[in-house]
C-alpha cells in the first residue's frame, strides 16, 4: 500500500494542475463570452475584435494540461510501465503542480473578468479594444505564465526512480 503513495500523490498533482487551471479558464471564458454575446447582438461586425478578448483565458487551461501531461509521461503511464515513485517524490511532483494550478485558476477568472470589461468598453469605444482591453487582459497572463514556468521547470527537474 505504501509503495503506491508516491504514484498517488503524483497523479493527484497532475489532476489538480489540469482541473484548477481548467476551472479558471472555463469561468473566465464564460464571463468574457457573456459580454461578447451581448455586444455582438447589437454590433455583429465587432466579432473579430472581440474574439481575442474572449479567447485569452483559455491559455490557463492549456498550461495546466501541459503540466499534467508532463507528470503522466514522467511517471511512465503513457510511455511504458509506471515508474516506482517514492512518497517523497510524489509529494515533490504534487507541490510542483500547485503553481500552475493556483495561478491558472485565479488568473483565468480575473482575465475573463478583465476581458469582459474590455469587451463592454469596445462596444462604445472600439478604438480602445486593443489598447486597453487586450493589453490589460494580457498583463494578467504574465502570472499564469510564471506559474506554468515554475511548474514546468520543477517537474522536469524531479528525478524519478533510482
Q: For residue range 28-83, what is the model confidence (pLDDT) as tens digits? A: 999 999 999 988 888 888 787 788 888 999 999 999 999 999 999 999 888 878 78
Domains in the chain, start-ordered, CATH in brackets?
2-156 (1.20.120.610)
pLDDT band per the 50, 70, 90 thresholds, residue 16: very high
Would you say residue 162 has pLDDT above 80?
Answer: no
CA 130 to chain centre: 22
Mean pLDDT, range 4-31, rounded to an integer:
96
Give the model's pLDDT for residue 2.
61
Tell me the pLDDT tens digit for each residue of 79-107: 878 788 899 999 999 999 999 999 999 99
Give the model's pLDDT for residue 83.
81
Cell numbers given for 3? 509503495
Give the model's pLDDT for residue 123.
80
Mean pLDDT, range 13-17, rounded to an integer:
98
How far apart (Å, rounded) are the C-alpha atoms in residues 103 and 138? Answer: 14
How far apart (Å, rounded) are the C-alpha atoms in residues 3 and 23? Answer: 31
Q: What is the mean pLDDT of the chain?
A: 91
Nearest to 120 by CA among 36, 55, 16: 36
**What are φ and ψ of residue 118, in 5° steps?**
-65, -35
Cell numbers given for 153? 521547470
Amino acid at each position: 500500500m505504501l509503495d503506491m503513495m508516491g504514484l498517488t500523490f503524483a497523479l493527484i498533482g497532475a489532476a489538480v494542475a489540469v482541473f484548477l487551471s481548467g476551472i479558471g479558464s472555463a469561468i473566465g471564458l464564460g464571463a468574457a463570452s457573456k459580454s461578447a454575446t451581448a455586444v455582438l447582438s447589437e454590433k455583429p461586425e465587432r466579432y473579430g475584435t472581440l474574439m481575442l478578448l474572449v479567447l485569452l483565458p483559455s491559455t490557463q487551461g492549456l498550461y495546466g494540461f501541459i503540466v499534467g501531461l508532463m507528470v503522466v509521461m514522467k511517471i511512465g503511464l503513457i510511455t511504458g510501465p509506471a515508474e516506482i515513485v517514492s512518497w517523497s517524490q510524489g509529494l515533490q511532483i504534487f507541490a510542483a503542480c500547485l503553481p500552475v494550478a493556483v495561478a491558472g485558476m485565479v488568473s483565468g477568472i480575473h482575465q475573463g473578468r478583465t476581458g469582459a470589461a474590455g469587451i463592454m468598453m469596445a462596444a462604445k469605444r472600439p478604438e480602445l479594444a486593443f489598447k486597453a482591453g487586450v493589453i490589460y487582459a494580457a498583463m494578467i497572463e504574465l502570472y499564469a505564465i510564471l506559474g506554468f514556468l515554475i511548474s514546468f521547470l520543477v517537474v522536469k527537474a524531479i528525478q524519478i526512480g533510482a
